[in-house]
Structure 1
Amino acid sequence: MRYQDRLFQQRHAAILEAARRLFREQPWDRVTIAEVALAAGIGKGTVYKHFPSKEALYAQLVLELSRSNLDELRALHAAQPGPQAMRRVIRQAFAQMLADPVLVQLCLLCDRPAFQERLETPYREQFLALEHDYQELFGQLLADFLADHDLSHDDCQYLLWGVEACFSGVMARIASGGFSHWAEPIGLPDYFERVTDFIIAGLRGQAGGLRGQPAGSA
Structure 2
Amino acid sequence: MRYQDQLFQQRENALLQSARQLFQEQSWDRVTIAEVARHAGIGKGTVYKHFSSKEALYARLVLDCSRQHLAEMQEISRTAPADKAMRLVIRRAFELLHADPLQAQLCLLCDRPAFQERLEALYRDQFIELEHQYMTLFSGLLQNSFGLQLSPAHCQHLLWGVEACVNGVMARIASGGFAHWAEYIELDAYFDRVTDFIIAGLQGQAAALHTAPALSE
Compute the TM-score of the two structures, normalised by the length of structure 2: 0.92
Residues in 2 aligned to 1:37 and 1:181: alpha-carbon distance in whole angstroms = 35
User: Helix, strand or coil: the match of 2:49?
Assistant: helix
Tell me the residue number matched to 2:52. 52
Paired AA for residue 97 in structure 1: L
Instruction: Check conservation: 1:150, 1:212, Cα contact below 8 A.
Output: no
Residues in 1 aligned to 2:79 and 2:210: alpha-carbon distance in whole angstroms = 31
Compute the TM-score of the two structures, normalised by the length of structure 1: 0.91
Give CA deviations for 1:105-149 in whole Å, capped at 9, x if unaligned: 1111100111111101101110000111111111111111111x2
**CA deviation after TM superposition for structure 1 residue 211, in Å:** 3.8
Tell me the residue number matched to 2:171. 172
Give CA deviations for 1:123-177 in whole Å, capped at 9, x if unaligned: 1110000111111111111111111x23222222221211111111111111111
Residues in 1 aligned to 2:91 and 2:210: alpha-carbon distance in whole angstroms = 29
Paired AA for residue 100 in structure 1: D
Tell me the residue number matched to 1:216. none
Alignment of 1:155-166 (within 5 A): 155-166=154-165
Residues in 2 aligned to 1:58 and 1:12: alpha-carbon distance in whole angstroms = 12
Residues in 1 aligned to 2:209 and 2:8: alpha-carbon distance in whole angstroms = 52
Which stretch shifts more, 36-45 or 53-62? 36-45
**CA deviation after TM superposition for structure 1 residue 24, in Å:** 2.7
Paired AA for residue 21 in structure 2: R
Residues in 2 aligned to 1:82 and 1:211: alpha-carbon distance in whole angstroms = 18
Aligned alpha-carbon RMSD (Å): 1.5
Give the 4+ runs in structure 1 shifted more than 3 A: 25-29
Residues in 1 aligned to 2:75 and 2:205: alpha-carbon distance in whole angstroms = 28
User: Helix, strand or coil: the match of 1:83?
Assistant: helix
Residues in 2 aligned to 1:137 and 1:208: alpha-carbon distance in whole angstroms = 19
Which stretch shifts more, 110-119 or 149-158? 149-158
Unaligned ranges ≥5, structure 1: 214-218
**CA deviation after TM superposition for structure 1 residue 94, in Å:** 0.2
Residues in 1 aligned to 2:22 and 2:209: alpha-carbon distance in whole angstroms = 48
Residues in 2 aligned to 1:125 and 1:208: alpha-carbon distance in whole angstroms = 33
Instruction: Check conservation: 1:67, 1:130, Cα contact below 8 A.
Output: yes
User: Helix, strand or coil: the match of 1:50?
Assistant: coil
Paired AA for residue 99 in structure 2: A
Residues in 1 aligned to 2:31 and 2:154: alpha-carbon distance in whole angstroms = 44
Residues in 1 aligned to 2:40 and 2:65: alpha-carbon distance in whole angstroms = 19
**CA deviation after TM superposition for structure 1 residue 81, in Å:** 4.2
Unaligned ranges ≥5, structure 2: 213-217
Residues in 2 aligned to 1:183 and 1:5: alpha-carbon distance in whole angstroms = 53
Alignment of 1:162-201 (within 5 A): 162-201=161-200
Q: Give the number of equivalent residue pairs.
A: 212
Tell me the residue number matched to 1:78. 78
Residues in 2 aligned to 1:210 and 1:60: alpha-carbon distance in whole angstroms = 37
Tell me the residue number matched to 1:68. 68
Which stretch shifts more, 80-89 or 190-199? 80-89
